[in-house]
Amino acid sequence: MPSRLNPYLSFAGDARAAMEFYADVFGGTPTLNTYGEYGSPDAPEADKIMHGMLETPAGYTLMGADNPPGMDLSPGNDVSLSLSGDDADELRGYWAKLADGGTVTVPLEKQMWGDEFGMCVDRFGVRWMVNISR
């Protein structure tokens, strides 16, 4: 298996809902492992996600987990995820779902470089950039 780079997102207790949301946006079925599966099933965080992975039909891989107890988390303010390509219908569909319930910071529209581009923060606080090549 070749090396690959994947985004890995940390969540404040709602990783399951987030990974299921992204599966709805991009397709695929998330694989979710809890802290209880790999530690104490009686721990307060036992039902939280220790590791989640979503592999999509389009070939995207997204990973995420609930932040471990005792570790600081500042969600969404240091990472943006970028979707780009030339399939305008597919990318507009992703954009619509990601922006739903979130905040559009740059509307998806033609930009000075000729592509359509937009930025939003989804309902889980994750920043997204969508670029549709001309």
Give me the phi and psi of 122, to 5 degrees please.
Answer: -75, 175
Residues belonging to the chain: 134
Cα 28 from chain centre:
13
Which of 6-10, 93-97, 100-104 bottoms out in mean pLDDT, i.e. has the lowest?
6-10
Task: Supply 62's token pair.
Answer: 């997204």
pLDDT at 1: 55
Cα 24 from chain centre:
11
C-alpha span between 91 and 86 (Å, rounded): 8
Question: How large is the average pLDDT for residues 100-113?
Answer: 95
C-alpha span between 79 and 6 (Å, rounded): 12
Q: How confident is the model at residue 77 (pLDDT cuts 50, 70, 90)?
A: low
CATH assignment, 80-132:
3.10.180.10
Q: What is the Rg, in whole angstroms, of the alpha carbon atoms belonging to the chain?
A: 16
- 56 versus 40: the higher-pLDDT residue is 56
The residue whose two tokens read 């509307």 is 107
Instruction: Answer yes or no: is pLDDT of 7 > 60.
Output: yes
8-66 and 80-132 agree in CATH topology = yes
Sign of the dihedral defined by the CA atoms of residues 131, 124, 9, 71, in that order: positive
Contact 106, 59 (CB under 8 A): no
Domain ranges of the chain: 8-66, 80-132
Please name the CATH architecture into which domain 8-66 falls.
Answer: Roll (3.10)
C-alpha span between 60 and 55 (Å, rounded): 6
C-alpha span between 43 and 61 (Å, rounded): 29
